[in-house]
Amino acid sequence: MSDDPYSAAVRELFLNTVHGGDLPDAVVVDVAGAGMQLRLAARHIDGRLEALRFRAYACPHVIAACEAFCRGWEGRRVADLGRFAATDIIGDLSVPVEKTGRILVLEDAVRALGRNIGGAATE
């Protein structure tokens, strides 16, 4: 359909979220900005992300981006969270330029999550 503001990837991720919600015993990060609120939750074992969840009051692109992050990062190394780049998701989901600032908020949240997990592991 012409002028569809959402790519097929955004539609699929938005309509089929399976990572929405909370995790018991998880490290949690809350961020707000650009008219939206995000919460990321991660549970980790032996330096790996065992489970990820998110909550979002946000537009479809951000919800899709959160779901994409959770799907793509479960099982990966906690230490790699600092390398998460919003540009990858922006490209994969064909996020329009006026929405890219919102995906950068997600990037901030992911990196804060990595720092918080590191801090929790140290304690």
Partner 1 sequence: MPPEMLYLDYAASTPVEADVAALMLDCRTRAFANPSSNHLAGRQSRALVETAQSQLGALLNVDPRTLIWTSGATESDNLAIIGAAHYRAHRGKHVVTMPTEHKAVTDAFHQLEKEGFEVTWLTPDSQGQLRCETLAAALRPDSQLASIMFVNNETGVIQDIEALGTVCREHDVLFHVDAAQAVGKVPVDLQALPVDLLSLTAHKFYGPKGIGALYIADRPGCHVEPLLFGGGQQRRLRPGTLPVELIAGLGLAAEIAAKRLHADFDKLVKLRSALWSGIEAIDGLIVNGDLDGGFPGILNVSVDGVEGESLLLALEPLCVATGSACNSQSQEPSYVLRALGRGDDLAQSSIRFSMGRPTTAEDVESAAQRYCAAVTRLRALAPSATA
Distance CA 15, CA 27 (A): 26
* Amino acid in position 74: E
* Cβ proximity to partner 1, 4 vs 46, nearer residue: 4
Q: What mask, x for binding partner 1 by CB under 8 A, covers residues 40 to 79?
A: ---------------xxxxxx--x----------------
**CB 120 within 8 Å of CB 28:** no
Nearer to partner 1, 76 or 116 (CB): 116
Helix (H, G, I), strand (E, B) or coil at 39: strand
* Binding region for partner 1 (CB under 8 A): 5-6, 11, 14-15, 17, 20-22, 30, 36-39, 55-60, 63, 99
